[in-house]
Structure 1
Amino acid sequence: KAKFNPLGLQYFYTLIDDAVSRVMRSKGGFVWALKNYDGDVMSDMVAAAFGSLAMMTSVLMAPDGSVEFEASHGTVTRHFYRYRAGEKPSTNATATIFAWTGALRRRGELDSLPDLVSFAGKLESACLETMRDGVLTGDLAVLVEKEHCRQVVNFEESLEAIAKRLATKMQDADRR
């Protein structure tokens, strides 16, 4: 707390119940540290309240330097059940992809593999560019103004659009 005050930052400890109500009324502008299950539940709640669970990832850092990257827990299970039932889910894969790219980037940094670090960046860029270009899954399309949504796609079609952009990025890198 003594280090926060001179920086104009407020530090306080509170129970998860109070944190929930503060976050729901908040306009943001804060950093919060949560332990294990509270962090999982609360980060999912924030993602759902302010957009889509499919856009939420968590980075868990341990005191020993270990890092875990994960997507919101609810997205993969629900997608799988719908897929297994023969549906073509419209769930966005960005959180899952970013969990993987975070892990790949970290592994590349630890093992001095610049090509792996670069690949992770290219894949993330391909995801973001696809969405910025207005190619959105249904769960995201409902969150944006109509003029920002050029095409609504299902899960598989979104992966195909991302893969196409990634292939172009990889070819461009090979030419250099």
Structure 2
Amino acid sequence: MTNTATSSPSARAVTDIPELGAKTIEFLCQRIPGFAMAPQEAACVAAQMRLVHFPAGAALFKAGDSSNTGYMLLVLDGNVSVDTGGRSAQTKVEISVLGPGALLGELALVDGMPRSANCTAVAAVTAAGLTSAGLQRLMDQHPAVATKLALFMAQSAADRLRALSEQLEMYDQITASMQRELDQWRAGLKRAP
């Protein structure tokens, strides 16, 4: 398995390594008070997940990639930088750095659309990957658990959208402040003899 944007989960089940299986179950049980998965439900999800490793600097996903959208990743170890996917270093905007417990790629898994951001391993990353086939098996075999997983995925997306909204509000305030300074500077130029 290569560690590029076209990587996908390996054949090795995350539950084959007890420590990583337990970590996966722990992370899956953490979200959505009132709808959280019980450990045995999370174990059903973990059984469908496969182990993925990425070295530091490797691309987990690349913005615009539509050829490899059939899986999502749950970060177990390491950190992932998420950026806007600009074509050059000058146009990229870092959105966040996510660590253990973060879910990545769930939107593309659900809708099959191209990846919406670059995700790059800041440090070596170990993740549990769920493919569309694994998700389908989960829906067929354990529909109630699949529903809770869908809520988990929705909560993850909602959390990121709220964080992005806060960032946009901050950028709006910075832009408004800069505009006021420019307006004051222009007004000063008009008054100069």
Using the size of structure 1 for normalisation, the TM-score is: 0.30
Q: Please state which structure has a larger fraction of its residues in strand.
A: 2
Larger Rg: 2
Q: Please state which structure has a larger fraction of its residues in helix.
A: 1
Using the size of structure 2 for normalisation, the TM-score is: 0.28
Relative contact order: is structure 1 or structure 2 higher (C-alpha 8 Å, sep ≥ 6)?
Answer: 2
